[in-house]
Structures are given as C-alpha cells and as structure tokens.
Structure 1
Amino acid sequence: MSGALDRYIQAGEGISVEFKRCGSQPGQDTFETICSFANRQGGSVLLGVRDDGAVEGVPEVSALNIERNISNVTSNPNLFNVSPLVEFERLRDSEGRLVIRVWVPMGPSLYTFKGAVYDRVADADVRVKSDAQISSMVARKQSYYSERTVYPWVTESDLEMGLLDAVRDALRANDADHPWLSLSDEELLRAARLYGRDQLTGERGFNLAAVALLGKEDAILDVMPLYRTDAVLRRVETDRYDDRLVCRSNLVRAYDELVGFCEKWLPDSFVLDGGQRKSARDVIVRELVCNCLIHREFVSPHIARITIDGEGIRTRNASRALFAGPVTLETLDPTPKNPVIANFFTQMGRSEELGSGTRSLYRFSRLYTGRDPVLEDGDQFTAFVPVPLVMTAGVANEGGCFAEAGAMADGVGEIPRRNRTRAEVEAAVKDLLARYGSFPASAVAERVASVGERTVRRYLAAMVKEGRLVSAPRGRSTTYRAGNSDDSLGGDC
C-alpha cells in the first residue's frame, strides 16, 4: 500500500476524509461530500474504499471516465451553484488495486448541490436548512478569505484596465478557446469574481482580489498599506545584499518583475522530463514566485521575501494555514489561501492547479540538483530550493558543470579579509578544480579577495606557461582547467 493511501486508511473517516465504493460511475453521495468539503475545511474522497477501510479499488478501464464525470458534474451550473475546485490523484494498495483520491479544498463561496447546502459534521455530510446555520457558514468564509472583502469606493479608475489586454494574450496562449476571451472588460472582471456582493452587508463593488491583481499603486496602498515583495541577492555581501528589487506592483505586473529578477541570478540548466528538454530553473522560479504572490495573507504586516544566496532560493510570506508543519508529497493536502486570485493565475497559465504545483516543484528540484525542496506552512509559509554548484552564470564548463562567481556552496563563497601569497592562490585553484573541473579568474579573485583580479590573472598565466593549467577562451572571458604536466593541479568536475 502506498504511503499516502495507508495514511488515509489508518486515519479513517472524519471531518476531512470520506471513503466511497465506486463502480463505473460515482454515486450522488459523492457529490454531496464534495459540496460539504468545499463548505467546511476541505478534504479527500477516496473512491474504491469501503466504509470499514477495506480497499476494493475501482475498475481500471473506468478511471478516466470517473474523473471526467466528476469534473463535468461539478462544472454544471444546473447542479452546483458555484463550481468547487477538485483535483485527482491515483493511488494503489500493495496488491495494485486502484483508488482515486478526489481532493476538494475549502472554497470561498457557499456551495449548493441540486439546490441544497451541505456541511461536514464529524464523518457525515449534513444537509443544512436553518437560515441561522447558513448565515454562520457565510460569516466563517467571509472572515477566512480576506480576498473577498468588498470595497464599494473602488472603481475601474483605480484599476489598470489596460492590463486586461495582456491578460487576454496570456489566456489565448494558454487556451485559444477560453470563454473569457469573448467577454467585455466588465464581464471578464465579473467572471473572474473580482466584482461581487458582500454576503454580510449586501454592498457591491470590487474586492481585495481585484485591487491585488490589477490595482494602481494608490489603490493598493489604501487597501493593503503594507503590501510589497522584497527580493534580494545575498552571495558576496551576506550581511547586506548584492542586488535588490522592492516590488509594490499589482500581482499581474509583479509576476514578470520577480520572475525576471530570479532568472537573472539563478543558473539555467536544462533537464529531461518525460523525454522533453525543459528548463528546471524556469519551472522552479515560476512555482516559487506564484506561491509567494497568490498564496499569501494580504492583510498581514509581514513582508513577503525572496532571497537568493549561495545555497539556493528561499521564499517567506504570511500564511493562514489550517494545519502547520512540513509540506511533503506524503503529507500534501494544500488549502487555497486566495482561490479567486489563484484561479486568475491558473487561467492565465501562470500557475498549476493546487497540489500539482507542489508536486512539480519536487520533481524539478530533484532534476535540478538531486535534492528535495524544503517547504513548511504555518503563520508563515517558507520554501527553500537548492541550486547547482556554480561559478560563471549561464556558462557550462567542459565537464558540463554550471558555474557563477560568488555562488559557491560549502564555504567557497566566503571572502577572507587578509592578503594571500601565490601559494594561497594555488590552494584556491586546486580546490576549484576539485569541485568544478574548470573556473574563470573571477572565481579565484572572489576567494582571494585582497589579491586583485589582475594579480590573479598573472599567477594563472604563469601556471599556464608552466603547463599546470590550460586556458580556454569562453566568449569575453577565459576559463582554466588542469594541464597535462606532471605538476598539474588536477581535479574533476
């Protein structure tokens, strides 16, 4: 039995877990559970498991049709008043029987199935009829999702309406037949749930999500006075920073600005994923930036931060998690912080569905460096993804290793503040060759800070003349590798 499936079976049914037998199609009670999970705190429906936890499995030939049926029913406005988010994961027990996990996050709306409201109470789906109970559910959701807060004074003049053309371009690139493409500006904003009614006060207007996604700077400051994302590079000046971007733009603009900053300072190595050549860096940056922008608590005083250092890239942003602790593939049960904003980014093709993005981050981190990311949720969500050992940005040496000055790990990036002799320069060269196989002069100068780069180049030229090193022009720079003499400094990448 897989670790994830075993964890659900051992826990048993409860407020966020439901077992369902399933033949070729799911029964009506499956959709009642989906409705109740969306109305409460979210949960997982395990299709192919009996109430007592025994695994029966679902027919292999029916798996795709079951998933399509659930997607079609939850998207049908005649059955669900608002489409709840659903995501599928296929699990197997030790005997290979297939179980379909239907993951349903808590949603921002009050959901109904066939006109009825369902809530989750312990391990049961309860049909709610009392107006008082329904009002309580609305109040709970209203206070939980700050992105839904309505600001009646915000008008179209407070938004960068011109950005909607760029939004449409992204929609078209992601789906040429996207239904939003045929809508007017006003219709698109309503379809994206950026304009609505406060369910408690009855006031109508643009909500916080609209200001966060498209707002002009003055409107953002009025609604979210502490909003900003601070991106810094710390490799040489570890106590301060080597480069910095303070981003106060709306989310549509901030995405491009922050992705550009991260791509500028992270090495770009291509990997094979399913036989296709992809940029691991681009996938990782996209996921981390998206998470930092769209899964944050906007009314929190904590500033969101993205830090690139000699070990990797780190993000930190205010969160509002139902469950705190490490986020791993085995414990993955994400809850959307801002489903309206997240859906807007998903429609534009800038982010994946909830859960899929985390799995993609794990997969490409392993392809990038062979190591897992470190993710943890709580009052703040933190993420760390390591990067390859590097020396010169975007340049691969003859051994295929990527390198960038100042980005060495395990203490290579530390800069001693004392003069060094030629013997110390040679020691630095030996270590660089042992680690990377080749290097530029600037990498030695970074390690021997008080010896200027011109002096370093003279030492290196002497070593080339002695046959201890071989120089190789690389565009505007020169890299050095071990020579063939008996006194070669040697080293493998």
Structure 2
Amino acid sequence: MIPQELLNLISIGENHIVEFKKSTTNITKDVYESVCAFSNRDGGHIFLGINDNGIIQGIKPDCIEQMKKDFVTSVNNGNKIYPPLYLTPSVYEEDGKYIIYIHVPQHPNVCRCNGRIYDRNHEADINITNNENLVYQLYARKQGAYYVNKVFPVFKVTDLRHDLIERVREMTKVRGQNHPWRGMSDEELLRSTNLLLRDSDTGKPGITLAAILLFGPDDLIFSVLAHHKTDAIFRVFNLDRYDDRDVILTNLLDSYDRLIDFGKKHLNDIFVMDGIISVSARDKILREIVSNILAHRDFSSAYVAKMVIEKEQIYAENSNRSHGFGNLELASFEPYPKNPPISKVFREIGLADELGSGMRNTYKYTRLYSGTEPQFIEGDIFKTMIPLIEAATATVGPISTISDTKSTTEASTEVSTEASTEVKLNTEMLGALLEFCKSPRSRAEMQEFCEIKTEKYFREQIIKPLLKFNILKRTIPEKPNSPKQKYIKV
C-alpha cells in the first residue's frame, strides 16, 4: 500500500517538490531532468505511473524491475548525471496498480543531466545552462557564498563617502551612547562589520560590494553594479501607468530614507492603538517592507526591486535566494540570512531588527493598520503584500476628493508636463487650485492664487487642460454684458 504521507503529496498535485511521470513501460528521459532539477533546488519526490492530473494509471508489472534497473544504472552513470547520484526507487501498489516512488534529496553540488543544468521552478524543470545569471545564482546558493562579500581590491576605504560612515556612527545612538563604532576609525568600523575583506583568489584586501552599496558614491555603485535600482510607485488613480514614481539609484542608506518618505507621502497615518499606546502602524509596516527589499535582496540579479502602493494593497518585490516556494506561514517560518554584513549595519543603526522579527512585526502592525493579515510569498522573487483599507489612501492628495479621478490625474499629468517651462504645477497645487475654485473664480484670481505671472501661459497651459478634461467649467455670466468670465470646479 502507498504510505499516507505519499498519498498526501499526490493529493496536493505537482509543485516545486512533486513531479508526476506517466512512464508506464519505461523510464522517459525527462525523469532524469527532474532528478537534476530537484538535486539543484530543494530536493523532491518523483512518482512514476501517475499522470499530470494526479491520477494513478499504474506501471505494467512485468516492466517494473527493468525500469528500476535502468534508473539506478543511469543516475550512477557520470555521463548521464554528474555528479553520480545514489537513489533507490521504491515500488508501491494501490488497488492493483503499481507505482514507482523516488525521493531526490538536495545535493550539495551543482548537478548536470547530459551536460545541461536544470533548475526547478514551480512544477517545471528549466534548462538554465545558457543563462549566466541563473547559473551564477545556483552556484552561489550551493556554496553558501554571499554575493555582497565580493571583494574589490582596486578600491580603498577612502573611495567611500566618509559622511555616510559618520552618519552610521551617529545612528548607533539607538543602541546606546557608548556603541563601539563611535570610537572606531572608518577602516576599523568596516573591518568589524566584514565590509573589508581579503580576496579569496588573490589574497589582496579590499572593500566589499556590501560596503560600496552602503557607503559608496553613486558613480562607484554604478561601476560595480550597473543594474542596481529600486523603484517606488504610487498607482491609485492612473491605473494604466502611475500617479507618482521615484526611481532610486543611490546608496542603501539614502534609498531607505527615500522609500520611507515616499510611503509616508502616499499613505495616511491612521490612528491606531497598541494596547494603551498610540502607534504609527503605517511607519512600522514601511520600516519592515523597506528594510527587507534593501537588506535581503539578491544583488546578483538584475531584477528591479520595487515598492508599489495601490488602492487596496502595498506590495514589494525583490530578487531572492530562495529556500522554497509558496506562501510563508508565521508559525512555521524559518528565516535564513541573506546579506549578513548589510543586515548587521541595518540592525545596529535601528533600521531593522533581529532575523525573523520582521515577519512577526509586519503581521502585528498590518492587523492594527488594516484589520487583515499580510502575505509573504517565497521564490526566486520574494513578494510581500499588505492589504489596505480604503482610509489608507482615500484622502491622500487633494485630487482624491474629485469625482472623476481618472480625468483629474490625466489633467494633472498634462498640466505638470506642459507647465515645466515656467512653473511645476504638481498634484498638490492642482488640488489646492480646484478647492479654490469651488466658488466661481476669474482667470485673474486663479492666476494670482497660483502665483503665475504670464496670462497667456496660464490660459494655455493651466486652464485649457482643466477644461479639456472637464475638471473646470465656465460659468454662465450673471448679466448678459458681464465683462468677466469665471470658472468653477465640476
């Protein structure tokens, strides 16, 4: 009989650790590709005699022994699977139908099948042989190496920004006035945090990639990691594109500040109580999201990390050296260190807490902020999703009170773009102007309110787009010969 634990796996269906193969009379070649992929990822379970829908079709009884022999011979053949694997297939019977079960453990080395490298992605075996980036990530995952520990002997401590290192010293006050970093030189501080290491190949000392990401000037960061970028997007009104965006190409400390400021700009700080204490659940959530996408991303990947604020959720994505796939549960979550040197600096200056606490904090403050629970999805792209209630974004920005928000956003974009030659009329000023126009206003009154000097410019670049998008309308003069045309918000 098939053991219950295997029946449970079959009932779940194919996923990143379960593969079904029909293989009723012989071992098909794609079985070995799955063996290779499972070995390279998290291990897995292969069932022969079961179709893709999880239905047991069975193996012909007189073929079982030959199939077992062929499998064992092949996985021990270095020309077929390298390095050779020692796997033992097991035979089970259910209602007169036979299956072969093969457990494939995770291998400490990178495995190849017929000279090709396969990796597991959800329920598929992917040939990554010619994808240099994915192959590098696989080797890094197997070796336990950290990409941010890459040493650059050509650069010195003096190539970093002393002001950023000094800023970190000051920020350690959150840990106490006598923090050891406060009495260290720049070089001593970097050594204490493993940001100054020796190259394992040449033996030459140098600053690491982590040091450059934390303290480097922008041009130095670009020279060693050209794909480094973090994207912040606010998308509530203009769903086809965005309402606001900040593309961040700088060091991690300034990136943290800009992401936090972006979130505060577009999310309401709803009043919540943690017991008898009033807290800013918004700020707590932003802290966890931002520190995660900056300190725990896989910097070897060119995937752009992002924080996106939408009407019903905030979500963050970053490349990740995954240890599994699917939803993470708070009760069973086992944290893994991603970039220890960066994480240590973030902890010492109060931008992050101990490993694993971020997930607990996010659960706690999301419940306070929106009455729901966050979702964490593990994979090569790590995704965090924070549900929002309407109050979180409903009153953000003066234009959110206008009935036709889509048209207002389009008008705001057009006005802002065309106004750049004289004044940047942003959404905040536009919203204030429209509030001013709740009562009929003349062109001169509106122009004075916006502090714009040129009448022609104001008529063409401000009033015209607002009329075009039906945000403003002309009033009917009170008297037939009234000399002044006025405008009112629709």
> Which residue pairs with 2:252 in the alignment?
251
Higher Rg:
2
Alignment partners' CA distance in 2, 1:379 and 1:140: 11
Kept in 2, the 8 Å contact 1:319–1:379? The answer is yes
> Which residue pairs with 2:243 in the alignment?
242
How do residues 409-420 of structure 1 correspond to structure 2 at under 5 angstroms? 415=406
Kept in 1, the 8 Å contact 2:213–2:252? The answer is yes
Matched residue type, 2:272 = V
- Residue 222 of structure 1 deviates from its aligned partner by 1.6
Kept in 1, the 8 Å contact 2:318–2:383? The answer is yes
> Which residue pairs with 2:287 in the alignment?
286
CA deviation string 1:321-365 (max 9, x = no partner): 122221221231111210110111000011111111110000000
> Which residue pairs with 1:221 in the alignment?
222
How do residues 137-152 of structure 1 correspond to structure 2 at under 5 angstroms? 144-152=145-153
- Residue 274 of structure 1 deviates from its aligned partner by 3.6
How do residues 83-482 of structure 1 correspond to structure 2 at under 5 angstroms? 144-390=145-391, 406=400, 415=406, 452=470
- Residue 227 of structure 1 deviates from its aligned partner by 0.4
Closer/same/farther in 2, CA of residues 404 and 245 from structure 1, 3 Å limit: same
Matched residue type, 1:206 = I
Q: Secondary structure in 2 aligned to 1:255?
A: helix
- Residue 140 of structure 1 deviates from its aligned partner by 7.3
Alignment partners' CA distance in 2, 1:255 and 1:174: 19
Alignment partners' CA distance in 2, 1:217 and 1:297: 19
> Which residue pairs with 1:10 in the alignment?
none
Alignment partners' CA distance in 2, 1:346 and 1:249: 20
Matched residue type, 2:179 = H
Q: Secondary structure in 2 aligned to 1:322?
A: coil
CA deviation string 1:122-150 (max 9, x = no partner): xxxxxxxxxxxxxxxx9978663101111
Matched residue type, 2:162 = M
> Which residue pairs with 1:69 in the alignment?
none
Q: Secondary structure in 2 aligned to 1:308?
A: strand
Alignment partners' CA distance in 2, 1:275 and 1:282: 18
Alignment partners' CA distance in 2, 1:358 and 1:346: 15
- Residue 235 of structure 1 deviates from its aligned partner by 1.3
Q: Secondary structure in 2 aligned to 1:340?
A: helix
- Residue 407 of structure 1 deviates from its aligned partner by 9.6
Closer/same/farther in 2, CA of residues 391 and 321 from structure 1, 3 Å limit: closer
Kept in 2, the 8 Å contact 1:295–1:319? The answer is yes
Kept in 2, the 8 Å contact 1:390–1:404? The answer is no
- Residue 201 of structure 1 deviates from its aligned partner by 4.1
Q: Secondary structure in 2 aligned to 1:385?
A: strand
Alignment partners' CA distance in 2, 1:370 and 1:457: 45
- Residue 415 of structure 1 deviates from its aligned partner by 4.1
Alignment partners' CA distance in 1, 2:306 and 2:250: 14
Alignment partners' CA distance in 1, 2:172 and 2:297: 23
Gaps of 5+ in 2: 1-41, 43-138, 409-433, 439-466, 477-490
Alignment partners' CA distance in 1, 2:336 and 2:173: 28
Matched residue type, 1:220 = I
Alignment partners' CA distance in 2, 1:231 and 1:360: 22
- Residue 184 of structure 1 deviates from its aligned partner by 1.4
Closer/same/farther in 2, CA of residues 162 and 453 from structure 1, 3 Å limit: same
> Which residue pairs with 2:485 in the alignment?
none
Alignment partners' CA distance in 1, 2:472 and 2:141: 66
Kept in 2, the 8 Å contact 1:271–1:277? The answer is yes
- Residue 406 of structure 1 deviates from its aligned partner by 4.0
Alignment partners' CA distance in 2, 1:167 and 1:199: 28
Q: Secondary structure in 2 aligned to 1:176?
A: coil
State the superposition RMSD in angstroms.
3.4
- TM-score normalised to structure 1 length: 0.53
Kept in 2, the 8 Å contact 1:139–1:200? The answer is no
Q: Secondary structure in 2 aligned to 1:383?
A: strand
- Residue 297 of structure 1 deviates from its aligned partner by 0.8
Kept in 2, the 8 Å contact 1:268–1:281? The answer is yes
**What is the identity percentage for the equivalent residue pairs of Structure 1 and Structure 2?**
38
Count of aligned pairs: 287
Alignment partners' CA distance in 2, 1:394 and 1:178: 42
Q: Secondary structure in 1 aligned to 2:390?
A: coil
Closer/same/farther in 2, CA of residues 181 and 407 from structure 1, 3 Å limit: farther
- Residue 206 of structure 1 deviates from its aligned partner by 0.6
Closer/same/farther in 2, CA of residues 197 and 452 from structure 1, 3 Å limit: same
CA deviation string 1:144-170 (max 9, x = no partner): 310111111122243112112211111
- Residue 416 of structure 1 deviates from its aligned partner by 8.1
Alignment partners' CA distance in 2, 1:318 and 1:139: 14
Kept in 2, the 8 Å contact 1:294–1:342? The answer is yes
Matched residue type, 1:282 = D
Q: Secondary structure in 2 aligned to 1:390?
A: helix
Q: Secondary structure in 1 aligned to 2:206?
A: strand
Matched residue type, 1:213 = L
CA deviation string 1:369-417 (max 9, x = no partner): 110111111101111112231387778xxxxxxx975499xxx997489
Matched residue type, 2:198 = R
Alignment partners' CA distance in 2, 1:201 and 1:183: 28
Q: Secondary structure in 1 aligned to 2:245?
A: strand
Matched residue type, 2:196 = Y
Closer/same/farther in 2, CA of residues 221 and 179 from structure 1, 3 Å limit: same
Alignment partners' CA distance in 2, 1:252 and 1:176: 21
Kept in 1, the 8 Å contact 2:270–2:392? The answer is no
Closer/same/farther in 2, CA of residues 368 and 379 from structure 1, 3 Å limit: same
> Which residue pairs with 1:60 in the alignment?
none
Q: Secondary structure in 2 aligned to 1:317?
A: strand
Matched residue type, 1:181 = R
Gaps of 5+ in 1: 1-40, 42-137, 396-402, 418-440, 459-493
Matched residue type, 1:259 = I
- Residue 198 of structure 1 deviates from its aligned partner by 3.0
Closer/same/farther in 2, CA of residues 156 and 325 from structure 1, 3 Å limit: same
Greater share of residues in helix? 2
- TM-score normalised to structure 2 length: 0.53
